[in-house]
């Protein structure tokens, strides 16, 4: 057995911080690697040493195995932990580590390779007795007889059927077929798309489960041949096939089903010679029958929920196994203690279709409630850019029961403070407090049945905007009074004409809202968007705190100001308000029909030409940001009168990309 003395973490953000925490507790020196964009990141400061990888894009930095290994050589690191994403499931990198005499904290390369092909993975699992969905493979050069294929699907699979590209992912080449008449067209279309995207037109067909549950099982294996499971996680709440809420254990898995899932997961691990931490993923229908989906050959984002119900440190176990040590007894005898739920806090605009958001994090805090854990890679001053995944933090709650954990997590999120970037926090709170979720009636179609925007607003009080707008206006007035160089002894808001109201206008979620107010001894008047607030009393007002009574209800509002932006937090929730200039500069408005960049990014495609007629909703440009492509569409039918950018060009938020002039019929 070899003892790891110095560990290089080939990752960034919250997972890098998470690995550093466990490694340092084991007296292991930690080395970080960082890109230009991450020079000021928290994980870099937390590491004992750090190596700069010049550049910003992942392909130039964190995905460069040669640079990672060179950093290990220069620092004398004897092991590399890849975290998740990036190089964590790269068999070639795992082999390169072995060739360089560096321990790869992960499974053997052969185990990673065995899961690279969906078809071969299913064959391996079926041979090991793991339940798999019935399927049919169509090779890239095979001729297709529509009638014969339809007969085979009806006999061997049944409808609905899912058509998928055998190589690659991201939904490319994926089709759902519900009737035999649509089968041939779907298969041929999937093959064409697979060839374009992956260079191989091989597809496979398997039974499609409508809105199944997504259940996964944590497995752990050591080099002595012991393979165990550490129970299941429910990961059914997803958007864009990306998990956003995970929990352990699943609310619908009883002891008998848990034993079946665990046995299948262990069989999967043994079939591929697994070592270390891995996850066997399954889909489960409403009848409780489950089927193999894939094995993730790495640590999962949602591993904290397993840690909280078992009391185990999975990163520590990874490092022990990498040293060649057997799994400790507390792993072999692990049990379930209570329930844990995790939410992924993303920088994204839910109302804009989960569009990733960028900006500077001005402040981030989560109330220290009992049972709440925060895994985060950001703090005040952190920059959220376009090059990496927009996840800011994972917030996890543990309690004796699922309902205890759910309620605690909802409260912790509702009272959290995160300023500077748009997040999905309101949606997460809305889900946690929603009736079906509370009852455990969830599946992968949850956010199809429930409107995300409505969920995000479901817990918003009608008083939020008027009270917070009034608080922001009063705080701004107090700040101006505090900064006054002359007549500073006069009361804030003093006027020669006592009846004259003060006023200011804020942009609140795209709407202009005017606040008019008059505060005098014995007289307080406030109106927001033309509606007078009833029974207003200002008990105190400072630049960062306003104690306000409206209609007999007293609330304290915390106000944080960054330039012209105000963040107001109270028991009602959070609101961001941008103060509008009283006298805008002439010519600062874009011409009608301007398509603006919804985020900083890079133009990857311009499928239209200047002068071209386009229909409403037609794609005018495609931007790439945060590892995803985003289409910018024509808001109306019209003529593309201007194209201001070209492929490969980087653009800032709000930049004019093109202009579409509406054509009247």
**Per-residue model confidence as pLDDT tens digits over 433-446:** 999 999 999 999 99
Hey, is 205 helix, strand or coil? Answer: strand
pLDDT at 1 over 90: no
Which residues in 140-151 are b (16+ Cβ under 10 Å) and which e?
A: eeeeeeeeebee
Question: Which is more confidently placed, 313 or 615?
Answer: 313
Domains of the chain: 6-105 (3.40.50.20), 134-207 (3.30.1490.20), 213-457 (3.30.470.20), 464-579 (3.30.700.30), 594-662 (2.40.50.100)
**In the prediction, which pLDDT does 569 show?**
96
Q: Is 418 helix (H, G, I), strand (E, B) or coil?
A: strand
Is pTM beyond 0.85 here? yes
Structure-token pair, residue 219: 């497995």
Residue 482 burial (CB < 10 Å; 0-12/13-18/19+)? exposed
On whether the CB atoms of residues 524 and 536 are closer than 8 A, the answer is yes
Q: What is the mean pLDDT of the chain?
A: 91
* Cβ-Cβ contacts under 8 Å for 132 (sequence gap 6 or more): 122, 125, 126, 291, 292
Q: How many CB atoms lie within 10 A of CB 503?
A: 13
Inter-residue contact 217 to 336 (CB < 8 Å): no
Across 105-114, 206-215, 230-239, least confident range? 206-215
> Over 70: is that where the pLDDT of 425 sits?
yes
Nearest CA to 418 among 548, 239, 575, 547? 575
At residue 226, the 3 state secondary structure works out as coil
Q: What are 512-553's pLDDT values in tens digits?
A: 999 999 987 767 899 999 999 999 999 999 999 999 999 999
Q: Which among 72-76, 134-138, 375-379 has the top mean pLDDT?
A: 72-76
Residue 519 CA to residue 541 CA, distance in Å, equals 11
Of 153, 157, 192, which is closest to residue 173 (Cα–Cα)? 192
Residues 262-279: tens digit of each pLDDT: 999 999 999 999 999 999
| Residue 210 pLDDT | 86
Look at residues 309, 205, 186 and name the one whose alpha carbon lies nearest to residue 250: 309
3-state secondary structure of 125: helix
pLDDT of residue 489: 55
Q: Tens digit of pLDDT for each residue in 4-35?
A: 999 999 999 999 999 999 999 999 999 999 99
Residue 280 has pLDDT above 70, yes or no: yes
pLDDT of residue 485: 55
Question: pLDDT category, 585, cuts 50, 70, 90?
Answer: low
Tens digits of per-residue pLDDT, 456-499? 999 999 999 999 999 999 999 999 888 765 555 555 555 555 56
The DSSP code for 483 is T
Confidence of residue 259 (pLDDT cuts 50, 70, 90): very high
Q: Which of 287-296, 565-574, 620-629 has the lowest mean pLDDT?
A: 620-629
Task: Find the mean pLDDT for residues 315-343.
Answer: 98
CA atoms within 13 A on the CB side of 279: 21
How far CA 287 is from CA of 212, 284, 567, 618, 637, in Å, comes to: 10, 8, 47, 41, 47
Q: What is the mean pLDDT of residues 93-105?
A: 98
* Percent of the chain predicted with pLDDT > 70: 94
The more confidently predicted of residues 284 and 605 is 284
Q: Answer whether 283's CB lies under 8 Å from 209's CB.
A: yes
Kindly tell me if the per-residue pLDDT of 625 is higher than 80: no
Q: Which residue has the higher pLDDT, 591 or 431?
A: 431
């Amino acid at each position: 057995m070899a003892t790891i003395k110095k560990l290089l973490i080939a990752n960034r953000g919250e997972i890098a911080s998470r690995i550093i925490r466990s490694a340092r507790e084991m007296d292991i020196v930690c080395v970080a690697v960082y890109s230009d964009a991450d020079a000021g990141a928290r994980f870099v400061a937390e590491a004992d040493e750090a190596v700069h990888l010049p550049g910003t894009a992942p392909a130039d930095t964190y995905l460069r195995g040669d640079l990672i290994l060179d950093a290990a050589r220069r620092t004398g690191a004897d092991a590399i932990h890849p975290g998740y994403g990036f190089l964590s499931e790269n068999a070639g990198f795992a082999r390169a580590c072995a060739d360089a005499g560096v321990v790869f904290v992960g499974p053997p390369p052969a185990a990673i390779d065995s899961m690279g092909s969906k078809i071969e993975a299913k064959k391996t699992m079926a041979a090991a007795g793991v339940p798999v969905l019935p399927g049919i493979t169509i090779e890239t050069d095979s001729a297709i007889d529509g009638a014969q294929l339809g007969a085979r699907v009806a006999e061997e699979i049944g409808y609905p059927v899912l058509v998928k590209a055998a190589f690659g992912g991201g939904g490319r080449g994926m089709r759902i077929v519900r009737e035999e008449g649509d089968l041939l067209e779907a298969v041929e279309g999937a093959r064409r798309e697979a060839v374009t995207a992956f260079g191989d037109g091989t597809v496979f067909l398997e039974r499609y489960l409508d809105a199944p549950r997504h259940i996964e099982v944590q497995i752990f294996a050591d080099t002595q041949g012991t393979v165990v499971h550490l129970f299941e996680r429910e990961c059914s709440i997803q958007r864009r096939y990306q998990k956003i809420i995970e929990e352990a254990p699943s609310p619908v898995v009883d002891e008998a089903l848990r034993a079946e899932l665990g046995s299948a997961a262990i069989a999967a691990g043994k079939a591929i010679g697994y070592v270390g931490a891995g996850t066997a993923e399954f889909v489960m229908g409403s009848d409780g029958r489950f089927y193999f989906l894939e094995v993730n050959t790495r640590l999962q984002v949602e591993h904290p929920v397993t840690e909280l119900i078992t009391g185990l440190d999975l990163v520590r176990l990874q490092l022990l196994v990498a040293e060649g040590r057997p799994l400790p007894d507390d792993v072999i005898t692990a049990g379930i203690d209570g329930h844990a739920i995790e939410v992924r806090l993303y920088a994204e605009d839910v109302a804009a279709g989960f569009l990733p958001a960028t900006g500077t994090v001005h402040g981030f805090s989560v109330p220290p409630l009992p049972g709440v854990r925060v895994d985060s890679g950001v703090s005040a001053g952190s920059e959220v850019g376009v090059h990496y995944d927009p996840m800011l933090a994972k917030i996890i709650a543990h309690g004796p029961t699922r309902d205890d954990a759910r309620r605690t997590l909802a409260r912790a999120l509702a009272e959290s403070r995160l300023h500077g970037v748009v997040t999905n926090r309101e949606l997460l709170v809305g889900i946690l407090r929603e009736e079906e979720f509370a009852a455990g009636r969830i599946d992968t179609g949850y956010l199809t049945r429930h409107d995300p925007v409505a969920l995000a607003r479901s817990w918003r009080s009608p008083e939020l905007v008027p009270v917070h707008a009034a608080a922001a206006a009063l705080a701004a007035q107090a700040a101006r009074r505090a900064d006054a160089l002359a007549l500073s002894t006069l009361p804030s808001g003093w006027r020669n004409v006592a009846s004259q109201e003060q006023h200011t206008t804020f942009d609140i979620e795209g709407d202009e809202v005017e606040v008019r107010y008059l505060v005098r001894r014995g007289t307080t008047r406030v109106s927001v968007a033309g509606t007078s607030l009833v029974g207003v009393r200002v008990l105190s007002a400072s630049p960062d705190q306003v104690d306000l009574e409206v209609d007999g209800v007293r609330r304290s509002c915390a106000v944080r100001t960054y330039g012209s932006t105000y963040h107001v937090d109270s028991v009602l929730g959070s609101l961001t308000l941008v103060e509008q200039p009283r006298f805008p500069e002439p010519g600062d408005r874009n011409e009608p029909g301007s398509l603006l960049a919804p985020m900083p990014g890079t133009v990857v495609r311009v499928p239209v030409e200047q002068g071209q007629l386009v229909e409403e909703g037609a794609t005018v440009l495609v931007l790439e940001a945060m590892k995803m492509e985003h289409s910018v569409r024509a808001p109306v039918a019209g003529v593309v009168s201007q194209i201001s950018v070209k492929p490969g060009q980087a653009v800032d938020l709000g930049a004019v990309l093109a202009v579409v002039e509406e054509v009247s019929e």
